[in-house]
Homo-oligomer: A and B are copies of this chain.
Amino acid sequence: MFTLDPRLQADSTEVCTLDNVQVRLMNDARYWWLVLVPEVKDAVEWHHLEPDMQHRLFDLAAHSAGIVEELAAADKMNIAALGNMVRQLHVHVIARHEGDAAWPGPVWGVGESLDYEVPIRATRTQSLQALLQVR
Protein backbone atom coordinates (compact mmCIF):
# COMPACT_ATOMS: atom_id res chain seq x y z
CA MET A 1 0.00 0.00 0.00
CA PHE A 2 1.18 3.51 -0.80
CA THR A 3 1.92 5.85 2.07
CA LEU A 4 3.22 9.37 1.62
CA ASP A 5 6.75 10.00 2.88
CA PRO A 6 6.55 11.84 6.23
CA ARG A 7 8.82 14.63 5.05
CA LEU A 8 6.73 15.30 1.94
CA GLN A 9 3.67 15.18 4.19
CA ALA A 10 5.19 17.75 6.54
CA ASP A 11 6.55 20.04 3.82
CA SER A 12 3.50 20.25 1.58
CA THR A 13 -0.30 20.40 1.56
CA GLU A 14 -2.59 18.42 -0.70
CA VAL A 15 -4.25 20.30 -3.54
CA CYS A 16 -5.97 17.36 -5.24
CA THR A 17 -5.34 13.85 -6.51
CA LEU A 18 -5.67 13.18 -10.25
CA ASP A 19 -5.22 9.76 -11.87
CA ASN A 20 -3.50 8.45 -8.73
CA VAL A 21 -1.03 11.30 -8.62
CA GLN A 22 -1.12 13.64 -5.64
CA VAL A 23 -0.68 17.31 -6.47
CA ARG A 24 0.69 19.08 -3.41
CA LEU A 25 1.62 22.70 -2.68
CA MET A 26 4.93 23.15 -0.91
CA ASN A 27 4.65 25.02 2.38
CA ASP A 28 6.90 27.80 1.20
CA ALA A 29 5.22 31.05 0.26
CA ARG A 30 8.36 32.33 -1.52
CA TYR A 31 7.45 30.31 -4.62
CA TRP A 32 4.50 28.81 -6.44
CA TRP A 33 5.90 25.30 -5.95
CA LEU A 34 4.08 22.03 -6.53
CA VAL A 35 5.22 18.50 -5.93
CA LEU A 36 3.52 15.66 -7.80
CA VAL A 37 3.60 12.31 -6.05
CA PRO A 38 2.38 9.19 -7.84
CA GLU A 39 0.60 6.89 -5.42
CA VAL A 40 2.81 3.94 -6.31
CA LYS A 41 4.31 1.86 -3.53
CA ASP A 42 8.12 2.07 -3.28
CA ALA A 43 8.49 4.26 -6.39
CA VAL A 44 11.87 6.02 -6.47
CA GLU A 45 12.87 6.58 -10.10
CA TRP A 46 10.57 8.07 -12.73
CA HIS A 47 11.95 5.78 -15.45
CA HIS A 48 11.25 2.70 -13.32
CA LEU A 49 7.49 3.31 -13.28
CA GLU A 50 5.27 1.40 -15.66
CA PRO A 51 5.29 3.28 -19.01
CA ASP A 52 1.68 4.34 -18.61
CA MET A 53 2.35 5.90 -15.22
CA GLN A 54 5.59 7.50 -16.49
CA HIS A 55 3.57 9.32 -19.13
CA ARG A 56 0.66 10.15 -16.85
CA LEU A 57 3.10 11.78 -14.43
CA PHE A 58 4.81 13.66 -17.24
CA ASP A 59 1.54 14.87 -18.71
CA LEU A 60 0.39 16.11 -15.32
CA ALA A 61 3.73 17.85 -14.75
CA ALA A 62 3.47 19.58 -18.13
CA HIS A 63 -0.18 20.46 -17.61
CA SER A 64 0.36 21.85 -14.12
CA ALA A 65 3.46 23.73 -15.29
CA GLY A 66 1.26 25.58 -17.79
CA ILE A 67 -1.28 26.41 -15.10
CA VAL A 68 1.27 27.56 -12.53
CA GLU A 69 3.17 29.54 -15.14
CA GLU A 70 0.06 31.58 -15.81
CA LEU A 71 -1.15 31.92 -12.21
CA ALA A 72 2.29 33.02 -11.04
CA ALA A 73 3.17 35.03 -14.14
CA ALA A 74 6.42 33.07 -14.06
CA ASP A 75 9.57 34.08 -15.88
CA LYS A 76 10.64 30.43 -16.08
CA MET A 77 9.25 27.08 -15.02
CA ASN A 78 11.43 24.41 -13.41
CA ILE A 79 10.41 20.74 -13.65
CA ALA A 80 12.61 18.29 -11.76
CA ALA A 81 12.76 14.85 -10.21
CA LEU A 82 15.76 14.75 -7.88
CA GLY A 83 15.01 12.69 -4.77
CA ASN A 84 18.47 12.84 -3.26
CA MET A 85 17.06 13.57 0.19
CA VAL A 86 13.54 12.16 0.04
CA ARG A 87 13.73 9.03 -2.08
CA GLN A 88 9.99 8.62 -2.60
CA LEU A 89 9.40 9.67 -6.21
CA HIS A 90 8.14 13.24 -6.47
CA VAL A 91 8.33 15.74 -9.31
CA HIS A 92 8.82 19.42 -8.57
CA VAL A 93 7.00 22.03 -10.66
CA ILE A 94 8.21 25.47 -9.63
CA ALA A 95 7.49 28.95 -10.92
CA ARG A 96 10.60 31.08 -10.97
CA HIS A 97 10.92 34.83 -11.15
CA GLU A 98 13.98 36.87 -11.90
CA GLY A 99 15.16 38.08 -8.51
CA ASP A 100 13.34 35.42 -6.45
CA ALA A 101 15.03 34.08 -3.31
CA ALA A 102 17.22 31.61 -5.21
CA TRP A 103 17.40 33.17 -8.68
CA PRO A 104 19.08 32.14 -10.94
CA GLY A 105 20.16 29.07 -8.97
CA PRO A 106 17.93 26.12 -8.11
CA VAL A 107 15.56 26.54 -5.16
CA TRP A 108 16.56 23.53 -3.11
CA GLY A 109 18.42 24.23 0.10
CA VAL A 110 18.41 28.01 -0.32
CA GLY A 111 17.43 30.01 2.76
CA GLU A 112 14.53 29.23 5.03
CA SER A 113 11.06 28.42 3.81
CA LEU A 114 8.47 31.12 4.46
CA ASP A 115 5.17 30.16 6.09
CA TYR A 116 2.06 30.94 4.12
CA GLU A 117 -0.53 33.32 5.45
CA VAL A 118 -3.59 31.10 5.64
CA PRO A 119 -5.81 33.07 3.22
CA ILE A 120 -3.04 33.21 0.62
CA ARG A 121 -2.53 29.46 0.75
CA ALA A 122 -6.28 28.95 0.52
CA THR A 123 -6.54 31.17 -2.52
CA ARG A 124 -3.65 29.48 -4.30
CA THR A 125 -5.04 26.04 -3.49
CA GLN A 126 -8.50 26.93 -4.74
CA SER A 127 -7.17 28.41 -7.97
CA LEU A 128 -5.07 25.31 -8.58
CA GLN A 129 -7.94 22.96 -7.80
CA ALA A 130 -10.26 24.79 -10.15
CA LEU A 131 -7.80 24.82 -13.04
CA LEU A 132 -6.35 21.33 -12.58
CA GLN A 133 -9.70 19.65 -12.38
CA VAL A 134 -11.02 20.98 -15.67
CA ARG A 135 -8.51 19.08 -17.80
How distant is A92 from chain B, measured CB to nearest CB, in Å?
8
Stoichiometry (number of copies): 2
Q: Does A87 contact B (CB under 8 A)?
A: yes
CB distance from A130 to the nearest CB of B (A): 19
Smallest CB-CB separation from A104: which chain B residue?
A: B84
Give the docked Cα–Cα distance between A82 and B65 (Å): 12
Nearest CB on B from A42, distance (A): 14
Q: What size tier do the contact residues of chain A reach? A: 20 to 34
Stretch from A7-15, A71-79, A112-120, A121-129 that touches the partner: A71-79
Inter-chain contacts of A44 with B (CB < 8 A): 76
**A18-26, A32-40, A55-63: which lies at the interface:** A55-63
Asked whether B82 lies within 8 Å of A69 as measured between CB atoms, the reply is no
Sample (14) of A-B pairs whose CB atoms are under 8 Å apart: A44-B76, A45-B69, A47-B61, A47-B63, A47-B66, A47-B79, A55-B55, A55-B58, A76-B82, A76-B84, A78-B82, A80-B80, A84-B103, A105-B108
Give A residues with C-beta under 8 Å from B: 44-47, 54-55, 58, 61-63, 65-66, 69, 76-85, 87, 96, 103-106, 108-109
